[in-house]
């Protein structure tokens, strides 16, 4: 791999002197240890940790434990057998007790299970291609590089930090209340939450993320009188289940839209008989063109920016479903679990302002707030109602969740410097 020069050039700029000597030492440490960070990322990526590969997730957890314990963290493995997942890392660093209590969030798992053909890391120049190279093994590497730099500069000693690395962010266990129990509890103890998933970039510009939308699922089941198709639309036979379902989903399309809201329909089926499997991802149906369909099913998701938007949309959906064409009935069910929203609160905006002061001190451009429509749901949302948060402290990557996922290796030291300086300043700020 050819040398990564971006951060070294940054050290040479006069504006870098706006950082304190301690902060300059952290930046220098991160640069000096960059090869170590890339080597660690390669080792992590080369261990498959698909969410359902319990042994692989556990192994990645052991590798991260080996990095955290020398930094003074007390590391606990929290098994999650009760939700059929491997478990989580919870690591605690006791500091002075006077500064901001920080919660760092990441995840051990990837979307790539052992049967995926995409399994190993390949480095080409400043790019690293591999499963989870960006999401979120690259994020964990940024986190660890920042913490090592803080230790080298002496700022970690006073920092009160709790880390939660979930083992099922990409495919959460059920019930979600148990799967996210430890993360939610950590959020209640924290003053600030920092999410180490990937940095968002638009047209080459780094963006700050202060909001994430929710993610939840729903099912509409329409039923109707069946019979010979010659009777369709009659008072005796009615309209059939497929027309009823079509009416509902079209009314959703026309009546629900508002800013920051989406509602996708991902699966639909209908006939004289229709059903979905236990996981809700496959459907079967049977019917004939001369028989009025008795049942039709649609499954979709709902994503919103605030809880009141979710509540308002669900009420509208229920009202639409309740109208009913003649001779039909329908029900709407919202699946339990899902991800809550992370609204763009004033506290979150203040955190981005703090990060932008660091950008100014590093002679970097300001990071505007990212449109929340451009960011999916994530674990930080489970603590968003309890603590101010900032998303996207991990590296920049492209093609996440698909073969060819590629991380920009030059963004690892850049993001580690931002994170180390931000955490050190927060640790020095009275609670």
pLDDT per position as a tens digit, 23-70? 999 999 999 999 999 999 999 999 999 999 999 999 999 999 999 999
Q: CA 173, 175, 179, 183 torsion: positive or negative?
A: positive
Residue 169 and residue 198 in one domain: yes
Instruction: Dig out the tokens for 340 from the structure.
Output: 């809550």
- The CATH number assigned to the domain holding 76 equals 3.40.630.10
Q: pLDDT digits over 344-358, tens only?
A: 999 999 999 999 999
What is d(CA 63, CA 417) in angstroms, rounded to the nearest whole number? 23
Q: Is residue 404 pLDDT above 50, yes or no?
A: yes
SS (H, E, C) 286-329: ECCCCEECCEEEEEEEEECCCHHHHHHHHHHHHHHHCCCCCCEE
What is d(CA 309, CA 342) in angstroms, rounded to the nearest whole number? 12
Residue 146 lies in a domain: yes
Residue 87 and residue 133 in one domain: yes
Last residue of a domain, one of 334, 349, 375: 334
Residue 1 lies in a domain: no
* Contact indicator for 106, 168 with CB cutoff of 8 Å: no
Q: What is the mean pLDDT of the chain?
A: 95
Residue 318 and residue 367 in one domain: no
User: Comparing C-alpha atoms, which of 371, 413, 417 is closest to residue 138?
Assistant: 413
Residue 91 and residue 13 in one domain: yes
Last residue of a domain, one of 334, 367, 383: 334
Residue 307 and residue 170 in one domain: no
What is d(CA 22, CA 417) in angstroms, rounded to the nearest whole number? 12
Q: Which bin fits 9, alpha (ψ -120 to 50), beta or left (φ > 0)?
A: alpha
**pLDDT reported for residue 7:** 42
Q: pLDDT digits over 54-67, tens only?
A: 999 999 999 999 99
Residue 327 and residue 346 in one domain: no
**pLDDT reported for residue 279:** 83
Residue 62 and residue 75 in one domain: yes
Burial group, residue 117, by CB count within 10 angstroms (0-12, 13-18, 19+): exposed
Q: Is residue 11 pLDDT above 70, yes or no?
A: no
What is d(CA 248, CA 121) in angstroms, rounded to the nearest whole number? 46
Residue 143 and residue 252 in one domain: no
Residue 65 and residue 156 in one domain: yes
- The CATH number assigned to the domain holding 307 equals 3.30.70.360
Residue 149 and residue 224 in one domain: no
Q: What CA–CA distances, in Å, run from 348 to 84, 265, 352, 380, 390? A: 33, 31, 7, 12, 6
List all residues 6 or more positions away from 282 whose beta carbon is below 8 Å from its beta carbon: 276
Residue 180 and residue 257 in one domain: no
Residue 261 and residue 381 in one domain: no
Q: Tokens 């992370």 sit at which residue?
A: 342
Residue 182 lies in a domain: yes
Number of domains forming the structure of the chain: 2
Residue 141's domain comprises 6-212+341-427
Last residue of a domain, one of 334, 367, 386: 334
Q: CA 364, 369, 373, 376 torsion: positive or negative?
A: positive
Q: Is residue 381 pLDDT above 60, yes or no?
A: yes
Residue 414 lies in a domain: yes
Q: pLDDT digits over 114-140, tens only?
A: 999 999 999 999 999 999 999 999 999
Query: Whole-model pTM?
Result: 0.90
């Amino acid at each position: 791999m050819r040398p990564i020069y971006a951060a070294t050039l940054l050290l040479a700029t006069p504006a870098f002197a706006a950082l304190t000597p301690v902060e300059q030492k952290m930046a220098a440490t991160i640069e000096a240890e960059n090869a170590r960070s890339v080597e660690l990322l390669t080792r992590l990526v080369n261990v498959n940790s698909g969410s359902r590969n319990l042994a692989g997730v556990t192994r990645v957890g052991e590798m991260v434990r080996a990095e955290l314990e020398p930094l003074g963290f007390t590391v606990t493995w929290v098994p999650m057998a009760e939700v059929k997942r491997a478990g989580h890392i919870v690591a605690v660093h006791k500091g002075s007790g006077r500064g901001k209590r920080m919660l760092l969030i990441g995840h051990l798992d990837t979307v790539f299970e052992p049967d995926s053909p995409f399994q190993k890391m390949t480095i080409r120049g400043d790019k690293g291609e591999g499963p989870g190279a960006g999401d979120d093994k690259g994020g964990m590497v940024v986190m660890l590089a920042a913490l090592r730099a803080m230790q080298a500069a002496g700022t970690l000693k006073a920092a009160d930090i709790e880390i939660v690395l979930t083992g099922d962010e990409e495919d959460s266990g059920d019930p979600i209340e148990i799967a996210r129990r430890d993360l939610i509890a950590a959020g209640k103890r924290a003053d600030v939450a920092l999410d180490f998933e990937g940095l968002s970039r638009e047209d080459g510009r780094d963006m700050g993320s202060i909001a994430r939308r929710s993610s939840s699922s729903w099912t509409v089941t329409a039923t109707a009188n069946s019979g010979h198709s010659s009777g369709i639309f009659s008072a005796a036979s009615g309209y059939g289940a497929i027309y009823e379902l079509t009416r509902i989903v079209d009314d959703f399309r026309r009546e629900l839209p508002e800013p920051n809201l989406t509602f996708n329909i991902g699966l639909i089926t209908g006939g004289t008989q229709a059903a979905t499997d236990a996981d809700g991802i496959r459907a079967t149906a049977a019917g004939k063109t001369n028989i009025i369909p008795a049942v039709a099913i649609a499954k979709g998701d709902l994503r919103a920016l605030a809880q009141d938007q979710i509540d308002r949309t669900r009420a509208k959906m229920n009202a639409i479903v309740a109208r009913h064409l003649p001779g039909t009935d329908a029900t709407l069910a919202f699946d339990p679990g899902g991800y809550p929203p992370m609204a763009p609160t004033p506290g979150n905006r203040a955190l981005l302002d703090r990060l932008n002061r660091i950008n100014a001190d590093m002679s970097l451009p300001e990071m505007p707030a990212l449109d929340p429509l451009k960011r999916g749901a994530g674990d930080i949302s489970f603590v968003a109602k309890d603590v101010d948060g900032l998303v996207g402290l991990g590296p920049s990557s492209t093609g996440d969740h698909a073969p060819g996922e590629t991380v920009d290796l030059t963004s690892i030291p850049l993001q580690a410097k931002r994170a180390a300086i931000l955490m050190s300043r927060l640790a020095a700020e009275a609670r």
